[in-house]
């Protein structure tokens, strides 16, 4: 076995994957550079605006017709490097066969569509059934920037692990859904940023008051982090919004500002992210040192890149980016939208049933 690709192919699956070629892995250097691009705390205003625009697929849709050919070539090249997880499912499944799959799923844009009102980002019953089927066979965690309780409310499956606030609030299934003792089930697994709670509350109030001047802006309190949504803000006001947010945060040097899909994220200045959450859960589940584990992480956001990087560095499993457009990513595979995520999860369940029957 080698670490040249994300997925390590077992010897008994080599024949099934003979013609399967994994995308060339990013180096640790290139992934660090990508992470540096994502952290906007020291960015100049022009870079802020460019990054905010880059988070909007609409800009790609509005590209001049003359560039259509170049755009098609770019997309084809990107798909060569990040092939569809559905199109390459058989080889991916062969690589996972005989190993313990551990599933990690982002929520917004992965299990539910991106919507204008973040409070209405509900998942379909069909998607819930697909996730339930996966969780019945493999340890499954939702890793989201949202507040853990809010994501649990959206998903409605108590048998899952939930890592909210970009992994800063992790809790496992309750005793009612597992064989855990009651005292174990109620234990919060990990809250590395608990000391920041008073500060987050204070900044939430300050930001909510500051952005009232920007129509469409919304500040969401995710307990250990804050989200400033600008999806409904006129693009001409994006710069003003970013300036308001930066002005508030100048008084709080222990907080940092990053960006996701049409959202500015305020987080504690600690070394913790979705990648750390993935590592913590693998450790808590007893899989960290095992060579026969196959973690799969599916996400659509820049914040998911930290988890993709962890899989790269481990040389295990598969990172899958959900996107219809070419993006710089450390993931090895891609899916276009939540509908394809649902199909992938169902195929994974079907494949598991076939191999165990």
Catalytic residues: 106
Backbone phi and psi for residue 221, each to the nearest 5 degrees, phi listed first: -90, 110
For residues 168 and 192, the answer to whether their CB atoms sit within 8 Å is yes
**DSSP state letters, 200-255:** HHHHHHHHHHHGGGSTT-EEEE-SSSEEEE-TTS-GGGHHHHHHHHHHHHTT-TTE
Q: Where are the alpha helices (DSSP H) in the chain?
A: 28-38, 45-54, 58-61, 68-81, 89-96, 125-137, 148-155, 182-185, 197-210, 238-249, 274-284, 305-314, 338-356
The neighbouring-strand residues paired with 80 are none
Q: Are the C-beta atoms of 170 and 281 separated by less than 8 Å? A: yes
The sheet carrying 169-171 orders its strands as 188-190, 169-171, 161-164, 140-143, 100-105, 293-299, 318-322, 333-335
* Closest C-alpha among 212, 83, 223 to residue 148: 223
DSSP annotation of 101 reads E
How many Å separate Cα 136 from the centre of its chain? 22
């Amino acid at each position: 076995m080698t670490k040249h690709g994300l997925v390590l192919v077992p010897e008994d699956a080599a024949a099934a994957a003979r013609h399967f070629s994994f995308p060339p892995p990013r180096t640790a250097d290139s992934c660090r550079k990508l992470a540096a691009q994502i952290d906007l705390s020291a960015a100049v205003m022009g870079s802020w605006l460019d990054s905010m625009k880059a988070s909007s697929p609409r800009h790609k849709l509005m590209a001049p017709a003359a560039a259509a050919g170049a755009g098609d070539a770019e997309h084809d090249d990107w798909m060569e490097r990040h092939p569809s997880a559905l199109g390459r499912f058989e080889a991916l499944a062969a690589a996972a066969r005989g190993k313990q799959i551990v599933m990690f799923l982002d929520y917004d844009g992965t299990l539910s569509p991106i919507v204008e009102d973040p409070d209405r980002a509900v998942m379909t019953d069909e998607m819930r059934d697909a996730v339930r089927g996966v969780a019945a066979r493999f340890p499954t965690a939702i890793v989201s920037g949202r507040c853990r309780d809010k994501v649990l409310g959206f998903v409605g499956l108590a048998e899952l692990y939930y890592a909210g606030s970009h992994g800063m609030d992790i809790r496992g299934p309750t005793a009612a859904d597992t064989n855990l003792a009651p005292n174990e089930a109620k234990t919060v697994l990990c809250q590395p940023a608990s000391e920041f709670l008073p500060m987050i509350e204070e900044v939430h109030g300050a930001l909510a008051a500051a952005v009232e001047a920007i129509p469409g802006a919304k500040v969401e309190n995710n307990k250990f982090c804050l989200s400033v949504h600008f999806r409904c803000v006129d693009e001409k006001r994006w710069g003003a919004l970013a300036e308001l947010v930066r002005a508030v945060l100048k008084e709080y040097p222990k907080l940092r500002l990053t960006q996701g899909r049409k959202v500015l994220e305020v987080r504690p200045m600690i070394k913790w992210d979705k990648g750390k959450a993935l590592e913590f859960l693998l450790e808590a589940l007893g899989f960290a040192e095992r060579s026969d584990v196959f973690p799969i992480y599916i996400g659509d956001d820049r914040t998911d890149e930290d988890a993709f990087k962890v899989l790269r560095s481990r040389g295990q499993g598969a990172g899958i980016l959900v996107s219809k457009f070419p993006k710089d990513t450390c993931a090895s595979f891609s899916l276009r939208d939540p509908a394809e995520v649902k199909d992938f999860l169902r195929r994974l369940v079907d494949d598991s049933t076939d191999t165990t029957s």
